[in-house]
Chain A
Amino acid sequence: MSDVSFVRTEMLPQQSPPASSVGFVGWMRENLFSGVANSILTVVSGVFIIYTLWFIIGWAWSPTWNAQSLNECRAILHDLGREGHWAGACWGVINDRWEQLLFGFYPNGTEAGVADMRWRPILAFVLLGFALAPVLYAEKVPAKMIYLTMAYPFIMPWLLWGGSIWGPIMVAAGFVIGYIGYRVLSQLAGSLIALILSVVLAVAWWLFAAGGIAGMLADLTPALGLEPVESRKFGGFMLSITIGVVAIGLSLPIGIVLALGRQSDLLIVKSLCVGFIEFIRGVPLITLLFVASTLLNIFMPPGTDFDIIMRVFIMVTLFASAYMAEVIRGGLAALPKGQYEGADSLGLNYWQAQRLIIMPQALKISIPGIVSTFIGVFKDTTLVSVIGLFDPLNLTNAIRADSDWNGIVWELYGFIALLFFVFCYGMSRYSMYLERKLRTDHH
């Protein structure tokens, strides 16, 4: 009977774990040599990695930075006694053409009578960093910086394309007019009617008033403007970033609206959203870009000159939005029904519940998917080469067309890959930082 009886008289203190399971030795045992098969795999992989790195570093370690042509590279390597296809990299091409890979044909001062304007995309890019800071690191920067963020969508096109300052100001004024209109009208009528009327008001301003007034003001103050730069001068990495930033910046809000629309109880709204998403996702981006570059002109009134980059913006944004909508829908689906009920039971209306309860959580769940879509869109910007825009990949063809550099492949693609990698890896790291920051389950 007393066999099963046991009373602990003294509680055991904590002890440190055995030395072989902690520290460097413990880590090695755990992760690299936890069994015979794993130890063999570790050794084989190690040999493979070292061999590959040895080969790549040997190729990349090549004193050809100042070479003026591929032949000169070969001569330098020949003098060093390095022969053959993998004798060494020819970095001269990067030294010669890196500015073109970054800026395309943006005026750089070499053309007679045209100044070096590359400070404009550089400034736009630097300002982008400041404009993004309040969004990315909300609690670490002064709250007032959000005004720069709000102004940036108008500053960026002005810096890049130039022209009179009044154009972007008049476009921005349309938003202000729409906002004031909504505030005034929502006092008089229902909020939905006020919303529709204020959108009509803003669109009417853009269509009928903005252009004329901007033109008039531009004539009065010709000094307040930048030298215009045509879209076909855009190219290189600058073009990729421009398209990427616009598509990323617009696809998130549009994607949220589409995802909410797809969940709507209103049949027409729902069908429109589902139809749009399924159509866009069912068509390759290249097809959309071809439509943008060729077919769209057929539907436009004759004589309309609809900027090619603007068309690309629209198509890439629509494409990204459809994917974004589905990613966000995944986040919405992952939210327990109780969150909706909790919000409802407190008397929050639909938009309050979405903004305060549902979206913050759904977006947080969707962060990995959202950032994957961002990265995908950014890399897909290279597809604009198929409609003749000079993104970095298309520029490599132009560079190889030069007899000096005919035959260069790895160096150019490697350089472009490195640039893309830096940006994509940055986005990926940021998303991981954000996920860590937004974790509230335990600290």
Chain B
Amino acid sequence: MSDLAVDRSIDRSKMTVSDEVAIEISNMNKWYGAFHVLRDINLTVNQGERIVIAGPSGSGKSTLIRCINRLEEHQAGRIIVDGTELTSDLKNIDKIRSEVGMCFQHFNLFPHLTILENCTLAPIWVRKTPRKEAIETAMHFLEKVKIPDQANKYPGQLSGGQQQRVAIARSLCMKPRIMLFDEPTSALDPEMIKEVLDTMIELAEEGMTMLCVTHEMGFARQVANRVIFMDQGQIVEQNEPEEFFNNPKSERTKLFLSQILGH
């Protein structure tokens, strides 16, 4: 696995972590039936943080970030996003979801709508943005992810990398304060991984708060300000990337890193 995500220097001028808390998770537990999938998770994310969550498959890392916009429901503990606590109150859930963008492993674009319609749908229906303004915003973000010329095509006509960039643009059109990435490059060909990572790096350079579940350790090294390692539903180790990769403390982390970076 390549160590470097991009071959250019990263502009860190806006990558600042503020004191404002974006997400606060305390003593959170979740079960799938009898299986204890997330165990006593405590995590505070400040505005502007770029966190990479790594870990073996089945360690609960995807489930953790899916709890933050309540695609999964937690059964114990508290999750507070942008000052709003996630409860079963549907109004709060919809409010938080419109503030928190998410990109999925399989993009989850809407295949029956064009790229432009994918991007304008939520602003028009959720934010009640006028259509013209929504289209302008969508074109702005499509230009940002470098595919404005595909706006009138359907998702099925685009490559995987292009689709994932559209998915990022679609989330950005809602002007989210936090972005969640659930293995955004795992379903892509190696040639396409780079274009998606480039887009994510640009996003980080603008100061977006990001939580990424990913196996791209080059990205973690270059962009993240914190790396979290999870195993068996628990946070095993977290540290700054430099320390995390060069000087892991737990045996489990060492084993994982040796396997993922070993070849």
Q: Which of B13-21, B95-103, B142-150, B207-215 forms contacts with chain A?
A: B95-103
Given A346-B97, A346-B121, A347-B126, are A438 and B102 also a contact pair (CB < 8 Å)? Answer: no
B156 at interface by CB-CB < 8 Å: yes
Chain B residues whose CB sits within 8 angstroms of the CB of A338 once the complex forms? 104, 106-108
Tell me the residues in window 191-212 of chain B with beta carbons closer than 8 Å to chain A beta carbons: none
Q: Which A residues between 414 and 428 are near B, CB-CB below 8 angstroms?
A: none
Instruction: Check A347–B112 contact: CB distance below 8 A.
Output: no
Q: A341-B71, A345-B69, A345-B71 are in contact. Are A443 and B108 (CB under 8 A)?
A: no
Contact A361-B111, Cβ < 8 Å, known A344-B71, A345-B71 = yes
Question: Is the CB–CB distance between B90 and A342 below 8 Å?
Answer: no
Partner of B121, one of A349, A356, A364, A441: A356
Interface of B is mostly: mixed
Bound-state CA distance A339–B112 (Å) is 11
- Given the known interface contacts A338-B108, A341-B108, A361-B112, the answer about A442 and B94 at a Cβ–Cβ threshold of 8 Å is no
A357 near B126 with CB under 8 A, answer: no
Could you pull out 8 A-B pairs where Cβ atoms are within 8 angstroms?
A341-B71, A342-B109, A346-B170, A347-B97, A348-B126, A360-B112, A361-B111, A440-B154
Q: Which residues of B contact A346 (CB under 8 A)?
A: 97-98, 121-122, 126, 170-171, 174
Residues 394-440 of A at the B interface (beta carbon under 8 Å): 438, 440
Q: A348-B94, A360-B112 are in contact. List 11 more A-B contacts (CB 8 A).
A: A338-B104, A338-B108, A345-B71, A346-B97, A346-B98, A346-B121, A347-B94, A347-B98, A356-B125, A364-B112, A440-B157
Q: Which of B146-164 contact A (CB under 8 A)?
A: 154-157
Interface: A221 (CB within 8 A): no
B31 at the interface (CB under 8 A from A): no
Task: Answer whether A357 and B110 are a contact pair too, CB < 8 Å, given A347-B126, A348-B126.
Answer: yes
> Do residues A441 and B112 form an inter-chain contact, with CB atoms below 8 A?
no
Residues of A close to B108: CB separation below 8 A: 336, 338-339, 341-342, 345
Name the B residues within 8 Å of A347 (CB-CB).
94-95, 97-98, 122, 126, 174
Instruction: Indicate if A352 sits at the interface (CB-CB under 8 A).
Output: yes
Chain B minimum-CB-distance residue to A443: B157
User: In this complex, what residue of B is CB-closest to A357?
Assistant: B110
Question: 8 shortest A-B CB distances, which residue pairs?
Answer: A347-B98, A342-B108, A441-B156, A346-B122, A440-B154, A338-B108, A347-B97, A345-B102
Residues of B within 8 A of A (CB): 69, 71, 90, 94-95, 97-98, 100-102, 104, 106-112, 121-122, 125-126, 154-157, 170-171, 174
- Chain B residues with Cβ below 8 Å from A441 are 111, 154, 156-157
How many angstroms from the CA of A346 to the CA of B99 in the assembled complex? 9
Give complex CA distance A342, B122 in Å.
11
Known contacts A345-B69, A346-B170, A348-B126: does B104 contact A339 (CB below 8 Å)? no
Tally A residues with Cβ within 8 Å of B.
Answer: 23
Contacts of A343 in B (CB 8 A): 110
In the complex, how many residue pairs between chain A and chain B have their CB atoms under 8 Å apart?
74
Q: Min CB distance, A123 to chain B, in Å?
A: 37
Q: Which of chain B's residues have a CB closer than 8 A to the CB of A349?
A: 90, 94
* Bound: A304/B108 CA distance, A: 55
| A341 & B157 in contact (Cβ 8 Å cutoff) | no
Given contacts A345-B69, A347-B97, A348-B126, contact A440 B111 (CB under 8 A): yes
Instruction: Name the residue of chain A whose CB is nearest to the CB of B117.
Output: A356
A338, A346, A360, A442 pick with most chain B CB within 10 angstroms: A346
Chain B residues near A364 (CB, 8 Å)? 112
Contacts of A361 in B (CB 8 A): 110-112
- Compute how far the CA of A361 lies from the CA of B154 in the bound complex, rounded to whole angstroms: 14
Contact residues in A for B69 (Cβ distance below 8 Å): 344-345
CB pair B125 A352 closer than 8 Å: yes
Residues on A with C-beta less than 8 A from B111 are 361, 440-441
> Which of A342, A352, A361, A364 has most B Cβ within 10 Å?
A342
Least CB distance from A75 to B in Å reads: 64
Within 8 Å CB of A440, what residues of B?
111-112, 154-157
Q: Which residue of B lies closest to A345 (CB)?
A: B102
Contact B157 A442 (CB under 8 A): yes
User: How far apart sit A342 and B110, CA to CA, in the bound complex (Å)?
Assistant: 8
Complex formed: what's the CA distance from A360 to B110 in Å?
10
Tell me the bound Cα distance from A435 to B94 in angstroms: 34
Q: Give the distance to chain A from B116, nearest Cβ to Cβ, in Å.
A: 13
**In whole angstroms, what is the CA distance A438 to B102 when docked?**
28
- Chain A 370-384 per-residue mask, 1 if CB under 8 angstroms from chain B, else 0: 000000000000000
**Contact residue among B109, B112, B156, B170 (Cβ-Cβ distance under 8 Å from A438):** B112
Q: Restricting to A169-219, which residues have a CB under 8 Å from any CB of B? A: none
Chain A residues positioned under 8 Å from B110 (CB to CB) = 339, 342-343, 357, 361
